[in-house]
A and B are shown apart, each in its own frame.
Chain A
Amino acid sequence: MEFNSLFFILIFMPLFIGLMFFIKNNQTRNIIILISSIFFYSLGDFKHLLVLLLIFLITYLFSFRVKNNKKLYILYLIIIVSILSYFKYGSYLINNLKDYFKTLDFIKIIMPLGISFYTFTSISYVSDIYYEKYEYEKNPLNILTYLSFFPVVISGPLIRYDDFKKYLIQKNINIDNISNGFRRFIIGLAKKVIIANQLNIITTVIINNNVKMSFILALYGIIAFGIQMYYDFSGYSDMAIGVGKMIGFKINENFNDPYFSSSIREFWQRWHISLGTWLKDYIYIPLGGNRKGLFRKGLNTLIVFMISGLWHGTTLNYLLWGLINGLFIACSHWTSNYKKIKELLKINEDSKIWKAFKIIRTSTIVFLLWAFVFKCTNNDEMINLFKALTFNGARFSLSYIKSLDVLYLFIYLLIGFIFLFPSIHKLFKKLNKNIYDICLLCLLIISIFFIVSGSYSAFIYFNF
């Protein structure tokens, strides 16, 4: 089930929040959360619930004895990473190997929704016990609730168990929290449905439909995809945070205006923050972090980003994407003469132009990498995009662009771009509370309007 489905907005969420509000007993509330989470997850595909239960079982059993037991901890990591790899990369490997081994044709692996998130959640829990950050949880239902917690099970943000547990013990569910959470949910829904989904039409037509791509068209597609990525993912995080807030859980922020970062390093501190801190705490620091010299610091960064790349996607280009991101950051560690060059060029670090340049430079790198790695689905699309960007693509033709039916969507790109600016958000927050709420109500109605009208499909009977 998705947050931006009518079923969730009109049926599941009101029922769930209503129950949580009217039932005051904390234990009963926890059971409602667990049942709702299992129901939410199994509606996607019932079979995948078994994988979630398997991860739960492994997590629960290992947590008892893993404290200070390195062998057991390694065994746990091998098992959990193997399960994740099997579902995540199995299908990719089979597709590549089935030409050589015909028997593989019969094996079909479908990746369970959210497996990357709940395995990482499991790792964080078991690792924290191994490193003695807190004691293991005796109540299996609490662990199952933690792993399957429906606001975050599909797309995060990643939560630590010590943060989560305090809300299992005590939740503050009141009208204020519900209304604030619902406000946040509406913002997330609008981000996803009004902006991201509309921009997805642009990017799919331009990048995935083998069009005659000119430089301008490629630029339009790349910018649209960069903005789509932000609104899609941050919209989902907003909805998760909003639902969490409604039931008294404080879920940490996952984005902090990432497109205003002045370097790739800063970008990764402001984009998908929960994953960044997870990678830092459970991979970068155990590898030695920045404690073992400049070279190891850079190398550790590279390793972390390569793992991040593999976590994001199954193909080699994701690995390459992680490597490039890692290289940018590692190079920033390694280049000590950079300051001297700036002095030589008389660059004023505090000038607005320099700051703007750095932001544009960072966003350009990020947008290009997003488009090539996350949107292009095959080599032909990458080549087509590359050719257009290097002025070797098709000739610019306005009538051709019009025929693609993506120009009218520029308005959504513009709205998306304007609302990236934090100052616009501040402006809205300064509004009178009632006017602000009316604006949000309108946003909710418009979002539902987009969801319903998106299902329009005329029966094209004359072309058969």
Chain B
Amino acid sequence: MPQKHESQMEKRPLKTNNDIVLNDHLSQEFEEVLKDQFYFRDNLTHTYYQIKIVLNRFIDKGSNAAIKLFYKIKGLINGVDSASYENINNEIEMTYLSDNVIEINDGYLINEIIDYNDEQLNLAASRGYNINEFDKKYPNVKTYVYFPTRLEELLNNEKENRLLCRENYLRQLNNNISYSYLKINGIKDHQEYYFKSDGHWNAKGAYQGYKDIIEMINNDFDLDQVKEIEEEYIYEYEFKGNISSQIGMIGDSDHIVDYKLKDLGEYDYYADNNKTNLNDVKNEYKLNGNNTVYSDYDLYFGANYFLRIFDFKQEDKPNLLIFSDSFVNTNMSWIASHFNKTVIIDLRSKPEDFNLDYYINEYDIDAALILMKYSNMYFNGNLYIPLD
């Protein structure tokens, strides 16, 4: 049997004969290898999801029609206009394609809608408290928080709970800390700022985020004005992102677009202390031909290093520290172009001996920005800033 090493569809390494070790779980390991290396595996799983999604769509259409009929009959009996029900769901059409993937208007995919529970609300508050403690510990560092809002955060099974996690988070922050967020007022904004089948923002969303962040920081520091887009170019025409990979790569593809900003300036870039070229990093997986286990988003916008440093050599400008996840990959160079040095820390891969004081002092940090997807911002208990 030919040995495949990665699954393009699942973005994960596949089990091969080399993974079989003589132990108590031998039959289980052997079975996993057989399944992973099975002929036409990708086609089979893709078909499985297609069947599932056809069934889900069928059920969705059937149940929606039944509900509409129910309200129509109810309206006729009670003498009420049945349109009142339809208005509720007028804007967003939702079809569950799996337990955590929902298809909304025009084939856009979002993840499951959060039905906040006490544990999540407490976690969000605790994360906010951590940021406040950071701000208190470093009084000379001005702290900012930016929320790249996604539609999932706005929707909720219980409407009154909308944005409750964010509110709980913000309630912990003192007045010194500034915050801003990507304004999503409905489906159209989401479609404009996000990929069809990926959890990350697209170039337009990232640019809007960049603008919001610079405008927010500009209230306290004398930064250059937001830079305009000079050129727009398409990296990829058939991009299917990480949400569609959860359902066997079902769903529409869209383009990956990137922007080149006017007068970005010259800079040095270090990824995990190695001096390199950002464009090289962006393309490293493609160049190495080793891209299968990474998402296309990573492929074009760079992998997730623990430490990235931009040095724009603008001594008169402040130094910035960013705590972020992969959301910053798209616009980090744009943000960094307004500062002297920008240190970006991804707490997901922090080393055990991580010492925050070192980075604050070594790079003479003036401002700190927290920028993460909502799930990492509120619910990831591993991403507290270590302050001891």
Contacts and interface: CB of A to CB of B under 8 A. Distances in A.
A45 B26 CA distance: 9
Nearest to B54: A408
Contact of B157 (A399, A411, A456): A399
B63 interface: yes
A6 B63 CA distance: 38
B103 to A, nearest CB: 12
Nearest to B62: A407
B296 interface: no
Given A458-B245, A459-B12, A464-B380, A452 B27 contact: no
Contact of A452 (B44, B99, B157): B44
B34 interface: yes
Contacts of B100: 405
Interface residues of B, number: 52
B56 interface: yes
B298 to A, nearest CB: 8
Contacts of A451: 35
Contacts, number: 108
A408 B59 contact: yes
B112 A7 contact: no
Interface string A207-240: 0000000000000000000000000000000000
Nearest to A47: B24
A335 interface: no
B85 interface: no
B295 interface: yes
B242 A453 contact: no
Contact of A455 (B24, B36, B99, B373): B36
A408 B380 contact: no
A145 B112 CA distance: 52
A408 B56 contact: yes
A398 interface: yes
Interface string B342-360: 0000001000000000000
A212 to B, nearest CB: 9
A10 B34 CA distance: 10
Nearest to A404: B99
Interface residues of A, number: 38
A462 B242 contact: yes
Contact of B27 (A1, A399, A408, A461): A1
B67 A411 contact: no
Interface string B149-167: 0000000010000000000
Interface in A408-464: 408, 410-411, 449-453, 455-464
Given A456-B248, A460-B242, A45 B24 contact: yes
A457 B247 CA distance: 9
A403 B157 contact: yes
Nearest to B383: A464
A140 interface: no
Interface string A1-14: 10001110010000
Contact of A449 (B48, B49, B98, B348): B48
B196 to A, nearest CB: 15
A44 interface: yes
Contacts of B31: 5-7
Given A408-B56, A452-B44, A402 B27 contact: no
A373 to B, nearest CB: 27
A398 B27 contact: no
A400 interface: yes
B376 interface: yes
Contacts of B56: 405, 407-408
Given A6-B34, A411-B55, A456 B10 contact: yes
B293 interface: yes
A43 interface: yes
B200 A453 contact: no
Contact of B376 (A43, A405, A408, A464): A464
Interface in A142-185: none
Contact of B112 (A47, A403, A458): A403
Contacts of B94: 399
A334 interface: no
Contact of A458 (B12, B96, B348, B376): B12
Contacts of B116: none
A462 B197 CA distance: 13
A43 B60 contact: no
A131 interface: no
Contacts of A399: 94, 157
Given A7-B30, A7-B34, A403 B99 contact: yes
A464 B348 contact: yes
A354 interface: no
Contacts of A461: 11, 242, 295
A92 interface: no
A64 interface: no
Interface in B184-221: 199-200
24 contacts: A5-B27, A6-B34, A7-B31, A397-B157, A402-B60, A402-B63, A403-B112, A405-B98, A407-B59, A407-B63, A407-B96, A450-B48, A455-B35, A456-B48, A458-B10, A458-B11, A458-B245, A458-B246, A459-B10, A459-B12, A461-B242, A462-B242, A462-B326, A462-B375
Interface of A: 1, 5-7, 10, 43-47, 205, 397-400, 402-405, 407-408, 410-411, 449-453, 455-464
Given A464-B376, A464-B380, 18 more contacts: A1-B27, A6-B34, A6-B38, A45-B24, A403-B113, A403-B157, A405-B100, A407-B63, A408-B56, A410-B59, A411-B55, A449-B47, A450-B48, A452-B41, A456-B10, A457-B12, A458-B9, A459-B10
